[in-house]
A and B are shown apart, each in its own frame.
Chain A
Amino acid sequence: MAFEKKGTNDHGIAHLVRYTVTRFGAGFISASLVAMLVGVLIGLSPLLYRSLNPFIQVLKPISPLAWMPLMLYSVQDPTWTAILVVFMASLWPTIANTAFGVSTIRKDYLQVASLLQLSWWRRLLTVILPAAAPAIVAGLRISFGSALVAVVPAEMLLGELGVGYLTWIEWNNLDISGVMFAILVVGVVGVILDFGFNRLARLVSYAE
């Protein structure tokens, strides 16, 4: 196994990691933006929360991989399907945590915001999001974990290049040490990305 590409059976770890991280990043970031938006809206509106909650409850426990055939059929493209699987895996924990964080903001913070007559946007940016930030980041972190779990089998099943693909191709090569190495690569990628999350969590956390 080489670092750089060396023929069709060895795409190079660097490239495989890059494929996975790019695919993962696209799905995770887009899902996080959607989830935070939906989370803020349902966190602010009890009506919206009660009307959307049954749907969320039904959709949440579905394994992201279960969406794969439907998505493959819809978008007809394995790369986009893999991104969408990551998207589905990253959506729910962030929605739930954002809604929780926003709906449990201390009342006096909101009272200050209304005293200061902040516009809806300023209120969102200067009070609601910072107040809910620790809960949101906790949600992102859970989403992140489940997305990382989903991206590996998605790559295996779709035959998309990436670290998940690496484990499978090494199995096909009957190279057990290669398989073990590939598993380790998945673990290391996860640790590095999680480290970034730790920094982010520290940045937005606050003591009451």
Chain B
Amino acid sequence: MDYLTVDHVTKYFPLLNGSGSGNGKTFCVLKNVSLRVTKGEFITTIGHSGCGKSTLLNIIAGFDKGSEGGIVLEGKEVNQPGLDRMVVFQSFALMPWLTAFNNIRLAVKAAYSSWDETKVREHTQKYIDLMGLNGAEGKRPAFLSGGMRQRVGLARAFAVEPKVLLLDEPFAQIDALTRGVIQEELIRMWSATQSTVFMVTHDVDEAILLSDRIALMTNSPEAKISECLNVNIPRPRSRATIIDLPEYTRLRNHILHFLMTQGSEGKSET
């Protein structure tokens, strides 16, 4: 049964003229995008920058509303942001005035408002330990590296125990070496918590390493999901061994080919 359904979502944005006011014309970013996600699945949408994949994630998160169509989670329509769909941001979005610990605690307190302080702290500490943040919990984000910041972001999202985790290019601002380590931590957390994950990225290797399924998105205007690829590579996968598999090469070439044909005909407008 479908857990999360993106049901024929279409999104228009008003076109702005030079002075910043609308002139009545609209720009169609997404056109009839549909996606069915089963419980516990890790699904990735891949596409060029500005193709509308982040817009799709924002609509699922409830930050934005589709002009047509809607999002159904566990049989209920969702159109507001909520604790059942936590987002991990490309920009980390950690409160800079709070320590790593308090950033996570803020989310835990919000998610479990009936808990007393001891329980909130215990739960927070559990996710600090799980994400390997020991020693960093007392520091503010400005004093942490990009990788550590995103660990805090992931810990905050997982600590809420959401139904769906939405990852918006979560590793784009992290250096390549650290990225690999955190990707493996993410997979470990994902399998431990049996979460459902919707990720948006433009990194092909990342998509294949992490996903059960990869949705290829065409460029806007009128972006749509042109096909969904199953990643038939057994888990646990490791970055070191996965690259030698013929299935990996096949998928990678397929996706790159798709992105390149998109790149030549589409125009980037970010």
Contact = CB atoms under 8 A, between A and B. Distances in A.
A131 B95 CA distance: 8
Interface in A94-138: 106, 108-109, 111-112, 114-118, 122, 126-127, 130-131, 133
Contacts, number: 60
B256 interface: no
Interface of B: 61-63, 80-83, 85-87, 89, 91, 93, 95-98, 106-107, 110-111, 140, 142-143, 160
Interface of A: 106, 108-109, 111-112, 114-118, 122, 126-127, 130-131, 133, 204, 206-208
Given A108-B93, A111-B81, A207-B142, A118 B110 contact: yes
A117 B82 contact: yes
A116 B83 contact: yes
Nearest to A134: B97
Interface centre among B63, B86, B110, B160 (most CB of A within 10 A): B110
A122 B82 CA distance: 15
A112 B156 CA distance: 10
Main secondary structure of the interface of B (DSSP, over half): loop
B86 to A, nearest CB: 6
A114 B89 CA distance: 14
A126 B109 CA distance: 12
Contacts of A131: 95, 97
Contacts of B93: 106, 108-109, 111-112
Contacts of A130: 95, 97-98
Nearest to A122: B110
A21 to B, nearest CB: 30
A130 B110 CA distance: 17
B110 A207 contact: no
Nearest to B81: A114
Given A111-B87, A206-B140, A206-B142, A117 B110 contact: yes
Nearest to A207: B142
A11 B62 CA distance: 66
5 tightest CB-CB pairs across the interface, nearest first?
Answer: A207-B142, A108-B93, A116-B110, A206-B97, A114-B81
Contacts of B80: 114
A115 B111 CA distance: 10
Contacts of B62: 114
A131 to B, nearest CB: 7
Interface centre among A106, A109, A112, A122 (most CB of B within 10 A): A112
